[in-house]
Chains A and B, each alone.
Chain A
């Protein structure tokens, strides 16, 4: 992938539309593919994990061009290691970074070499966490394994380790969407665990907190290129799954969007606009961004 960037498009953009702005360049401290970001609409900031520099970068919401982050969390006290996902709770002022068998929590305004204020980890957590999203209304932290291993061993992250079958995180655990109290700390048990095949295959997520809705990209059979399946070929039958934060156990999605068996092939990112009741999805293989109107899900 030759050119990493964060591009902004008008919500109603269509076709080969040009971005209204793009953040890219040496000053941004980006490295390669940006696997996650978060927009804090309370403080109008964009957060980006730096996979190689083990950092969380914060940009102004209106950042444009080759600009430097206004803050960066990095250094030996951070415990950051290949962060590829981030979530922000602008309401309560906290940053969440999932990395395998743990979730690190930092103050939103942290800058420099700062230790996390909470770390969710331990056997009772059930983590693997590859992705995380926050529901500040219901005070929930929601994790997805995003492991590339749909059934057992949701280590988190889909890392191409090449030394073993399991993802990062050690113990073999069931991949799932896990719903924790937002303030969970240490070896905390999730309040609820959504299992079932679709929940096991969930990757990037977002929420509509006002109604307690979880939107997750579901990538069936995505191996993440782990050893034993180095072909890198995926099923290319992805979709968006919609759950309630009150779902628990072996629960299929309430809605599926864009598939299975429909348009989406290799879905990656997801965002929602509750006002227009639109769900936006990016697809790597189709190299496109789609906007679906799904009022039923909001």
Chain B
């Protein structure tokens, strides 16, 4: 009997131990599953085992920096602007906007707050992909844009300073683009990095040799000289360092000198015609008495010895002093000598000087005033035999003609303007004194138009050289610079 009792007791103990073991194992399995889920990054959950109880404590990630809030679709500048119109800070305190959450930590400029707010940097792979990304659109005018021109009557050619593609183009003088043709191809093109051509605005041809002189208006402060047969991406025969922002170029053949307007310095500088490299000017006309203001075009009348300069009208004052610029005493006084607050706006004008005027001298005459019709007078040519001045007015779409003896607020004796004339944003005007023709470079329509020298009104051109179709128009992007996004009109604003 005792044996039976001992066996029963032993069996009951074994069953109890087995039950305890099973319960313990089950509990461990359940707990280990929960831990595995956390380790694998799945959503954390509290496993309920029996009644509710605290299973574990895990600290949250530090969040004392900026909290990223998904940006609402309307969270653009306009939303911000409208918020700010009603006092942004007030709105930030009161409104339940996601914006206010992202604002709060950003109000502080302290280093600590900044360090905590620094967003994570993208991976190298993402950065590399963004760097190589291509644009999804490109606005560009591939056509040649005629900025200025000169006629070589001796060789029956016309030469253009061209801006869109940084080139000099040579056409036959009698080239006439057929109405149905897309464009006329130039007979020679000088273009490429070796040429030192960028934003060429002034061009002159040497009558005896046919050498071509070109000045850049921006970025490359060099005048280049070319053999008349030069073409391609070739180096100029010689080049001359010039002041920044030269625009107009003409030669005084009697004295073998080159005269240039300098927009930046409201000046005319004169070099020897054979100057090169770092040679300095031989004469400088600059100062408040000259009344030059953003000078552009320049012409010399060999009969009278007078020089004509067109001015757009913005100007400032500067004081002499300091070391010579670029080591030349006759280099214009630079913008660093400008006197703050002295800027002013003057009406456009034509100032008349002796061609050898120097220093700060008053003009002999000034054509200026509302009757003149001057409107961004960009280029000027003189006809000595007719005693006439021809002026290209960019934004008036006109060529206005004056007597060389005019003075004050005078109306032009002739005006060329109108749809038949095809004059559109003219930035260059030139005279062919042999064939008595007036040439106009139309920056706004990929064209040059030719008229009889006495044309007036809205005449049809005798000939047209086009670098693009008339209906294409010209965006006139030239030296595109700053930009802005107009969110009201979904437009890109681009300045030249």
Contact = CB atoms under 8 A, between A and B. Distances in A.
A161 B325 contact: yes
B218 A33 contact: yes
Contact of A210 (B75, B344, B425, B472): B75
A76 to B, nearest CB: 4
B142 to A, nearest CB: 7
Contact of B314 (A53, A164, A181): A53
B131 A255 contact: yes
B135 A258 contact: yes
B490 interface: yes
A6 B217 contact: no
A191 B118 CA distance: 14
Interface in A55-89: 55, 61-62, 66, 74-82
A137 to B, nearest CB: 6
Contacts of B80: 91, 136-137, 209-210
Contacts of A292: 133-136
B182 to A, nearest CB: 12
Contacts of A76: 340-342
Contact of B164 (A136, A260, A287): A287
A288 interface: yes
A54 B325 contact: no
B140 A16 contact: yes
Interface in B422-463: 425, 427-428, 443-444
Contacts of B326: 162, 227, 230
A34 B118 contact: no
A2 B349 CA distance: 17
A62 B122 CA distance: 39
Contact of B221 (A1, A160, A257): A160
Interface in B100-125: 102-103, 106-107, 109, 111, 114-115, 117-119, 121-122
A35 interface: yes
Which of B132, B326, B479 neighbours the largest number of chain A CB atoms within 10 Å of its CB?
A: B479
B439 to A, nearest CB: 15
A37 B322 CA distance: 32
Nearest to B126: A296
Which of B136, B164, B348 neighbours the largest number of chain A CB atoms within 10 Å of its CB?
A: B136
A121 interface: no
A288 B139 contact: yes
A246 B453 CA distance: 65
> How many A residues touch the partner, as a band?
35 or more
B493 A37 contact: yes
Contacts of B294: 31-32, 52
A263 B140 contact: no
Contacts of B484: 37-39, 46, 269, 271
Contacts of B473: 18
A35 B482 contact: yes
A139 B107 contact: yes
A10 B375 CA distance: 28
Which of A24, A32, A42, A140 neighbours the largest number of chain B CB atoms within 10 Å of its CB?
A: A32
Interface string B479-496: 111111111111111111
Which of A15, A16, A159, A274 neighbours the largest number of chain B CB atoms within 10 Å of its CB?
A: A16
Nearest to A20: B491
B369 to A, nearest CB: 13
A1 B198 CA distance: 9
Given A15-B139, A290-B135, A7 B481 contact: no
Given A42-B85, A191-B109, A232 B338 contact: no
Given A7-B475, A26-B348, A80-B343, A296 B491 contact: no
B244 A289 contact: no
A29 interface: yes
A3 B394 contact: yes
13 contacts: A16-B139, A32-B245, A41-B486, A76-B342, A80-B343, A137-B103, A163-B323, A263-B135, A284-B480, A289-B483, A291-B137, A292-B133, A296-B122
Given A29-B345, A239-B131, A255-B122, 6 more contacts: A25-B376, A46-B484, A82-B338, A159-B336, A244-B118, A270-B483
